[in-house]
Chains A and B, each alone.
Chain A
Amino acid sequence: MTAAEKPIADKPSSDISARQDPAGAAALSIEGVSHSYGARRALIDVSFDVAPASFTALLGLNGAGKSTLFSLITRLFGIQTGRIGIFGHDISRAPGEALRLLGVVFQPRTLDLDLSVTQNLLYHAALHGISRREARLRSGEVLARIALSDRAGSKVRDLSGGQMRRLEIARALLHRPRLLLLDEATVGLDVKARSDILNHVRQLVSEQGIGVLWATHLFDEITASDDLVVLHQGKVLARGQVSRVIADTGAQDINTAFMRLTGAVGKGVSEAS
C-alpha cells in the first residue's frame, strides 16, 4: 500500500470504535471485506466501524462500491472475503440475530406500489414476526411520526417521491432496529424533501440512539461532527470524524478534502465536481 492509498485519520481523536454500546460491540463492524464481480474488484479490503448512536456518512462517487457494501451487510450477497458484524453478531454465522437489529433503506424503491401505506408496513412487520395487533399499533406510531397518518389507506403509487422515502424509513424502523442503513436515500428528491429526511434521520440518532450509516455522494449532507468513511474505487481512503479528515488533508472543507483524497489515486475529481 502506498502512502497515498493508506487510509488517513486511522486513529482520529474521537475514534469511532472507541464509542461502543454498553456490551462493547460496535453497531457495525466491517473487517477486511473484499468483493469481486468476476474479474472486476468492487471492494478491496474494506474495514471500518459504525458506533452506536452515531451518524456515519459513507461518501463515494457512483461506482465506488457503496451499494455492493450494503448488499453484503444485508446478506443479499454472500461474503467472499472478510467479516461483517452487527452489534457483534456475525452476518454469515448468525444472520437472524444480526438482521433483527438492522433496518435498511435501499437505493431503489422497494415498496409494493399496489398495496396501501398501512399494508406495506403490516407486511414488513409480519416478515419480522411481529403480530398483527402489535404491528397496527406500531404502524400508527410511525405514520404519525412521519406525518403520513392521513395517507394510511392510500396506495403507495399515489404518494410523492419524498413521502415514499419517508415511508421506507418508517418501515425500516418498524421492528425497532439499533442500526439503520440508508443507501443514497435522498436521490431524486427536491431540496425540502432531502432536508426533511436528513433531519429526521439525525433526530433518530440523537433521540433514539440509533447508529446510522448514510451512503451518499452529496457533500452538503455531511456536517463537521459526523463520522466519515471515504470509499473510492472499492477502497477506504479515509475514516474518522469529518473535521479530522479535513484537517489531515490540509483542506478547508469536505469538498476539497474529497478531491484531494480521490485525486491521490488518480481519478474521479471531475466526476465529484
Chain B
Amino acid sequence: MSSITVTPSRRGFSFAEYITCLNGIVWREALRFLHQRERFISALVRPLVWLFIFAAGFRQVLGISIIPPYETYILYEVYIAPGLMAMIQLFNGMQSSLSMVYDREMGNMRTLLVSPLPRGYLLFCKLLAGTAVSLLQVYAFLVIAWLWDITPPPIGYLTVLPALVLSGLMLGALGMLISSGIKQLENFAGVMNFVIFPMFFASSALYPLWRVQEGSPMLYYVCQLNPFTHAVELIRFALYGQINWISLGVVAGCTAVFMIGAILAYDPSRGLARRGPAGGET
C-alpha cells in the first residue's frame, strides 16, 4: 500500500470556470424546458385558466378597495395577476425539485454531482437555472395578460425582474429542501396536497388579506406567516415600481434559510442507496 503522496494538481477554480459551469447548467435546464413543449404549455395554461375563467367569474363577487400599491380601483383580474405570476414560480419550483428526484432515481444526477466544483455551488446553479426557466414562463404570461388589458406601467416589467428572481430562488430552494426529504418519486404527489395548495390558498394571491381578516382572523395570521404571501406582495409592489420592504426582508430571509437548508440536507445517496439492492447495484 502506498503512502499518500500528492501529485500536483491545480487547486481551486477560477471565476471563469464557475461562470462556465453556471452557464452550462442554465443552458441545459433551458434546453430541457424547450424540448418539453407540453410542460411549457401547461405552465401557461394553469394561470390563464385562473385569469380567464376564475377571475371573470369572481369579478362581481369580490370587490377590491384601493390598497397599495394600487392608486385607484382595479379589476379583480388586475389584482390576481401578481398572485398568478407567483403561482407560476411556485409550480415551477416544485417541478424543478420533482425533476431532481427523477434525475436522482434515473442516475442523471450523478453527472452533476461528480463535477469537481463545490457541491453547494452546483446546487445553487440548479436553483438559478430553475429560476431562469420560471422567468421565461412569467414573462410569457405577462405578454398574454397585457392582451387581456392587464397593463402595469412599462417600467414595471423591468422593476419586477429582481423580485421575480428572488421569489423564484425562494420557491426553488423550498422545492429542493422538500425533495431532499423525499426518498422516491411516488411520494412527490403528497407535495401537491400538503405544500402547493395550502401555500397558494392561504396567501394574498387570490384575495387581499384585509378581506381574509374579516372572515377569519386565525387564517389571516396563517397567511401573514406564509412566505408565499410575501413573495406575492413583493412581486405586486415591484410590478408597480415600488418596494414592499417587509416582504423583501421575509423573502430574502426565507431564501437564505431554505437554500442553506437544502444544500445541507441534500443527500445524493438517498435515491442511490435505495436503488442499490433493487437495481443490482451494491
* Chain A residues in the interface with B (C-beta under 8 A): 17, 20-21, 23-26, 29, 31, 37, 42, 47-49, 62-68, 71, 74-78, 83, 85, 87-90, 94-102, 104, 106-112, 114-115, 119, 122-132
Contact = CB atoms under 8 A, between A and B. Distances in A.
A76 B113 contact: yes
B114 A96 contact: no
A102 B7 contact: no
A246 B10 CA distance: 41
Interface string B244-282: 000000000000000000000000110011011101111
Interface string B102-115: 00001110111111
B59 interface: no
Interface residues of B, number: 51
B32 A88 contact: no
Given A95-B116, A129-B14, A65 B32 contact: no
B1 A99 contact: no
Contacts of A126: 20-21, 23-25, 27-28
Contacts, number: 165
Given A20-B2, A21-B7, A128-B116, A112 B32 contact: yes
Contacts of A99: 114-116
A189 B275 CA distance: 21
Contacts of B17: 128-129
B112 A129 contact: no
Given A25-B2, A110-B108, A114-B32, A62 B280 contact: yes
Contact of B4 (A47, A90, A131): A90
A219 to B, nearest CB: 18
A119 B14 contact: no
Chain B CB within 10 Å — which of A26, A78, A110 has the most?
A110
B197 interface: no
Contacts of A131: 16, 20
A6 B8 CA distance: 35
Contacts of A42: 282
A96 B118 contact: yes
Contact of B282 (A62, A102, A114, A132): A62
B18 interface: yes
B5 interface: yes
B282 A97 contact: no
15 contacts: A31-B1, A49-B2, A66-B282, A67-B282, A68-B276, A71-B272, A83-B4, A97-B116, A106-B110, A107-B281, A123-B28, A128-B21, A128-B116, A128-B117, A129-B18
Nearest to B109: A110
B11 A123 contact: no
B17 to A, nearest CB: 3
B6 interface: yes
Nearest to A74: B114
Given A29-B1, A119-B31, A96 B113 contact: no
B1 A129 contact: no
Contacts of B6: 23, 25, 87-89
A29 B2 CA distance: 7
Nearest to B12: A96
Contacts of A89: 6-7, 9
Given A89-B6, A126-B25, 7 more contacts: A21-B7, A66-B282, A67-B276, A88-B7, A99-B116, A108-B279, A129-B18
